[in-house]
Amino acid sequence: MNHLTQKELEQIISLYIDGELELSEKKRLESYLETHPIVAREVEILRLSKRTLAQSTPLVKNDWFWLKLSNRLEQESKRPGVLSFASRPALAAGSLAVFTLILIGIVTIKDAPLFQKFFIDKKNQAENIYRNNIMTGNILPLFFQFE
């Protein structure tokens, strides 16, 4: 035991107090304690503290515990869920924005040919105006002919 560091000795004492030391180690520690009364006193204090803590008086049983808990569980189940929008305006606004974007996306993809046709018509119309008016020198009626 004499070659042990203070930390190692403390760990052995802690194991000893818990009754976790092997018999040979236990005997070695006990013979060490016989020649080191200060350490023996420290061990005694730790044993006393362990014994005292183990004898802690339990709390008085609470017979109403379940009744109160079941009431609270019921309240919890009635409470709005985690994704309650009423209590989280920022979450509601964010969700609405995401929902709108998704909706626009779906409509765009679904009606893609319709949109394509619309833009092609507009492009052709603009080309016609360019060809029939600007190229022939009629600039003023340009915007009147544009639908």
Partner 1 sequence: MAKPAVINIIDEHIPHSQKSDDSLIMLFQNGEHEVFRYLVERYQEKVRNIIFSIFNDADVVDDIAQEVFIKVYQALRNFRFESSFYTWVYRITVNKCRDELRKKKVKRFFSFHSFEKTTNLKIENMATTTFDDENLKGVIEESLKKLPEKFRMPIILKDIDGMSYEEIAEVLECEVGTVKSRLSRGRTMLKEILMPILV
Print burial letters for 68-105: b (CB count within 10 Å at least 16), e (below 16): eeeeeeeeeeeeeeeeeeeeeeeeeeeeeeeeeeeeee
Q: Which is nearer to partner 1, 18 or 147 (CB)?
A: 18
Q: Which is nearer to partner 1, 21 or 129 (CB)?
A: 21
Q: How far is the CB of 121 from partner 1 (least distance, A)?
A: 57
| Interface residue list for partner 1 (CB under 8 A) | 7, 10-11, 13-15, 17-18, 20, 41-42, 45-46, 48-50, 52-56, 58-59, 61-62, 65-66, 68-70, 72-73, 76
Q: How far is the CB of 119 from partner 1 (least distance, A)?
A: 52
Q: Which is nearer to partner 1, 23 or 45 (CB)?
A: 45
Backbone angles phi, psi at 72, to 5 degrees: -65, -40
Q: How far is the CB of 78 from partner 1 (least distance, A)?
A: 13
Q: Which is nearer to partner 1, 82 or 86 (CB)?
A: 82
> Whole-angstrom Cα distance, residue 125 to residue 127?
5
Q: How far is the CB of 108 from partner 1 (least distance, A)?
A: 40
